[in-house]
């Protein structure tokens, strides 16, 4: 599923930067009991799509990968694609929040994001991605 998603993202990214982290396995977080482990990666692309166009495209890819449009909240899924940020845009709407409000709370996001963009600092952040990751590791020891 991740390979499918990466191939599809390569198609829509057009020209420019395409960064892909390694794959990271993680335990389910805030999921129903007996949920399987997840495989996570982060991709940074440049695209001519607007944030909402990109979101709709990602939701379409999820459905093509077998994810039903009506699914259990945080339940097991074939593919889950999120927009973490879109340049320095700040969007707070019912459909989309950017930067994603829980990036800094999720090791399964911070670890691959920090791998490809350790010095990234997004609107509203007081530290870089790597610094948030370092603080996260201190909190869980």
Domain boundary assignment for the chain: 2-140
Q: What is the pLDDT of residues 81-120, one digit of tens each?
A: 999 999 999 999 999 999 999 999 999 999 999 999 999 9
* pTM, 2 dp: 0.86
Known catalytic membership, residue 30: no
CATH node for 2-140: 3.30.70.560
Residues sharing a CB contact under 8 Å with residue 140, sequence separation 6 or more, in sequence order: 107
Catalytic one of 3, 30, 80, 88? 80
Known catalytic membership, residue 106: no
Helix, strand, coil % (nearest 5) of the chain? Answer: 35, 10, 50
Q: Quick one: 139 exposed, middle or buried, by C-beta within 10 A (0-12, 13-18, 19+)?
A: exposed
Known catalytic membership, residue 67: yes
């Amino acid at each position: 599923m991740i390979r499918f998603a990466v191939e599809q993202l390569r198609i829509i990214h057009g020209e420019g930067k395409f960064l892909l982290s390694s794959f990271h396995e993680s335990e389910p977080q805030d999921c129903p009991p007996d949920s399987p482990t997840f495989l996570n990666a982060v991709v940074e692309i440049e695209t001519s799509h607007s944030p909402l166009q990109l979101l709709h495209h990602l939701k379409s890819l999820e459905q093509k990968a077998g994810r039903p449009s009506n699914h259990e909240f945080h339940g097991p899924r074939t593919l889950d694609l999120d927009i973490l940020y879109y340049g320095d845009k700040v969007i707070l709407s019912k459909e989309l929040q950017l930067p994603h409000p829980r990036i800094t709370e999720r090791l399964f996001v911070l670890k691959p994001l920090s791998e490809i963009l350790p010095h990234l600092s997004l609107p509203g952040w007081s530290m870089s991605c790597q610094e948030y990751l370092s603080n996260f590791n201190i909190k869980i020891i």
